[in-house]
């Protein structure tokens, strides 16, 4: 009889997971590891992950976390990997916890307008399921057809419709989540209102997998609006389009979405669109007052725009929205788009874009800009040569100046994509030392050994 060789924490973890998880849940196949190593941010992992746990139920998550916690092995939770800030990038030796297989809609209650879902449910699938009851899931990140509810909650994802319906947090009523040590907690409730205890639901929403792993969510659904009216307006300059968006706000109209597209993006989609104007504003109003609101918006646009076009027909509305929806694919044809995500007070949009243009010129880095105008949320997009192994220094510097600009204008580094890996170095500046220190202490309450998505978010 020989004594067992001293085994590393990694090896021991693999042994325990193999013992305690159903057989199909654990993978160490290098191809599987590679497929679960990063997100759509372009960030590269610093080495190979240890293994992937394909969770199918809450117990898989508790088993994985309990053992990883005991052995102090980092865990990187992930949904569909559509994040844009490196939040799901797997660090060397980490255990990847893939939640995309927990994809059941557990309940859809039309009377109480809520759904209970597992974290791997694709956002658009939930919206479709709700549609069968005349309801919808309001948050609509651009990735909705691919991204998961769990990932949306982890980043507090936004989207086009949050102009009127709020961000993901505003649709999350309650959560089931697993703490670092495997403890299952339930937060929130099934009611619209409720103030018993601290708002852990909001605290977990947007915490980027650093506080707990979400295993189920109770989500608010809303009625599909009875009517929708959509309007596009082209402008001679981005500043005029921004002015038009301020005019909408000032007039007290709350559109369901208000999307700004700048000239370079229009040109990338189709040079013919660029000839129609130097900026496009797409506005959608919905509800019983949709037509009246759209008419009010059209009146406000008329003196500022070069052309204004309105429709209440859904198919035609889709055509009007098409330019906005085609923006990213068009930029992807030009290279690898790095999508920034700053937000500024709404009245500073024009100023922000003017400054971004100056930053672009100073560093000779082309910047393309989309904006959720009603939220002051800008996506300046730097497109880089996809063959480059790493981001050119100039692009990195331009990004840094864009972040500094956001803070200078009273804004934020990230409106809806999250901090992830990519924006970590600016976080302390935005939060300030006292709040930053407080957040780190909160993290320790949830995850005293720092195993949950280390190096992300804070």
Interaction residues for a copy of itself, span 396-435 (CB under 8 A): 410-419, 423, 427, 430-432, 434-435
Of 77 and 411, the one with the shorter C-beta distance to a copy of itself is: 411
Alpha carbons 277 and 3: distance in angstroms, whole number: 77
Calculated CA dihedral for residues 424, 430, 433, 434, nearest 10 degrees: -120
Q: Which of 49, 290, 339, 382 binds a copy of itself (CB under 8 A)?
A: 290
Q: Which of 16, 202, 236, 321 binds a copy of itself (CB under 8 A)?
A: 202
* Least Cβ distance, residue 130 to a copy of itself (angstroms): 12
Q: Interface with a copy of itself includes 302 (CB under 8 A)? A: no
Q: Interface with a copy of itself includes 106 (CB under 8 A)? A: no
Calculated CA dihedral for residues 171, 173, 178, 183, nearest 10 degrees: 170
Q: Which of 158, 209, 277, 366 binds a copy of itself (CB under 8 A)?
A: 158
Of 111 and 393, the one with the shorter C-beta distance to a copy of itself is: 111
Alpha carbons 52 and 199: distance in angstroms, whole number: 31
> Residue 224 has what DSSP assignment?
P
Alpha carbons 407 and 397: distance in angstroms, whole number: 16
Q: Decide: 101 and 87 in contact? Cβ < 8 Å.
A: no
| List of long-range contacts for 386-389, beta carbons under 8 Å, 24+ apart | 386/335, 386/336
Q: Which of 186, 276, 408, 449 binds a copy of itself (CB under 8 A)?
A: 186
Of 8 and 191, the one with the shorter C-beta distance to a copy of itself is: 191
* Least Cβ distance, residue 93 to a copy of itself (angstroms): 26
* Least Cβ distance, residue 121 to a copy of itself (angstroms): 21
Strand ranges (DSSP E) for 33-180? 51-54, 75-78, 95-98, 105-109, 114-117, 135-136, 172-178
Q: Interface with a copy of itself includes 368 (CB under 8 A)? A: no
Q: Interface with a copy of itself includes 298 (CB under 8 A)? A: no
Of 119 and 376, the one with the shorter C-beta distance to a copy of itself is: 376
* Least Cβ distance, residue 442 to a copy of itself (angstroms): 6
Alpha carbons 175 and 189: distance in angstroms, whole number: 8
Segment interacting with a copy of itself, rule: CB under 8 A, options 22-30, 96-104, 138-146, 150-158: 150-158
* Least Cβ distance, residue 63 to a copy of itself (angstroms): 17
Alpha carbons 126 and 104: distance in angstroms, whole number: 10
Q: Which of 6, 24, 111, 389 binds a copy of itself (CB under 8 A)?
A: 111
Q: Which of 41, 91, 143, 207 binds a copy of itself (CB under 8 A)?
A: 207
Q: Interface with a copy of itself includes 131 (CB under 8 A)? A: no
Handedness of CA 202, 208, 212, 217 (dihedral sign): positive
Segment interacting with a copy of itself, rule: CB under 8 A, options 53-61, 145-153, 275-283, 369-377: 369-377
| 78 bridge partner residues | 98
| 286 bridge partner residues | 228
Among 99, 161, 128, 97, CA closest to 416 = 161
Q: Interface with a copy of itself includes 148 (CB under 8 A)? A: no
* Least Cβ distance, residue 85 to a copy of itself (angstroms): 10
Identify residues 214-273 at the interface with a copy of itself (CB under 8 A). 222-226, 246, 249-254
Cα distance from N-terminal residue to C-terminal residue, the chain:
49
Q: Decide: 367 and 379 in contact? Cβ < 8 Å.
A: no
Q: Which of 34, 92, 191, 364 binds a copy of itself (CB under 8 A)?
A: 191
């Amino acid at each position: 009889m020989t004594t067992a060789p001293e085994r590393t924490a990694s090896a021991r973890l693999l042994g325990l997971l193999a013992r305690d998880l159903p057989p199909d849940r654990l993978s160490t196949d290098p191809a599987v590891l590679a497929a679960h190593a990063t997100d759509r941010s372009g960030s590269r992992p610093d080495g190979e992950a240890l293994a992937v746990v394909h969770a199918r139920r809450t117990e898989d998550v508790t088993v994985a976390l309990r053992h990883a916690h005991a052995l102090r092995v980092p865990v990187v939770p992930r949904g569909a990997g559509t994040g844009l800030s490196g939040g799901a990038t797997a660090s060397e030796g980490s255990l990847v916890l893939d939640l995309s297989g927990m994809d059941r809609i557990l309940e859809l209650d039309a009377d109480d307008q809520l759904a209970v879902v597992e974290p791997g449910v694709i956002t658009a699938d939930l919206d479709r399921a709700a549609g069968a009851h005349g309801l919808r899931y309001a948050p609509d990140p651009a990735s909705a057809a691919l991204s998961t509810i769990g990932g949306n909650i982890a980043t507090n994802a936004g989207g086009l419709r949050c102009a009127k319906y709020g961000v993901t947090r505003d649709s999350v009523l309650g959560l089931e989540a697993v703490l670092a040590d495997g403890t299952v907690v339930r937060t929130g409730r099934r009611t619209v209102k409720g103030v018993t205890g601290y708002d852990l639901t909001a605290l977990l929403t947007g915490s980027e997998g650093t506080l707990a792993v979400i295993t189920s969510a109770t989500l608010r659904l809303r009625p599909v609006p009875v009517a929708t009216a959509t309007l596009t307006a082209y402008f001679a300059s981005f500043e005029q389009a921004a002015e038009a968006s301020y005019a909408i706000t000032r007039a007290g109209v709350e559109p369901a979405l208000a999307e700004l597209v700048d000239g370079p993006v229009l040109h990338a989609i189709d040079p013919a669109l660029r000839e129609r104007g130097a900026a496009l504003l797409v506005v959608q109003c919905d509800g019983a007052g949709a037509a009246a609101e759209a008419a009010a918006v059209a009146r406000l646009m008329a003196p500022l725009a070069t052309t204004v076009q309105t429709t209440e027909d859904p198919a035609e509305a889709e055509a009007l929205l098409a330019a906005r929806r085609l923006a990213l694919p068009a930029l992807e044809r030009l290279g690898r788009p790095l999508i920034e995500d700053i937000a500024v007070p709404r009245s500073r949009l024009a100023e922000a874009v003017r400054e971004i243009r100056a930053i672009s010129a100073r560093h000779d880095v082309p910047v393309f800009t989309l904006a959720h105008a009603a939220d002051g949320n800008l996506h300046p997009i730097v497109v880089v040569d996809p063959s480059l192994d790493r981001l050119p220094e100039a692009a990195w510097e331009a990004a840094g100046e864009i972040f500094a600009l956001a803070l200078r204008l009273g804004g934020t580094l990230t409106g809806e994509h999250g901090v992830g890996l990519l924006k970590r170095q600016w976080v302390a500046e935005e939060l300030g030392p006292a709040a930053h220190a407080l957040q780190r202490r909160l993290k320790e309450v949830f995850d005293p050994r720092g195993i949950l998505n280390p190096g992300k978010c804070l």
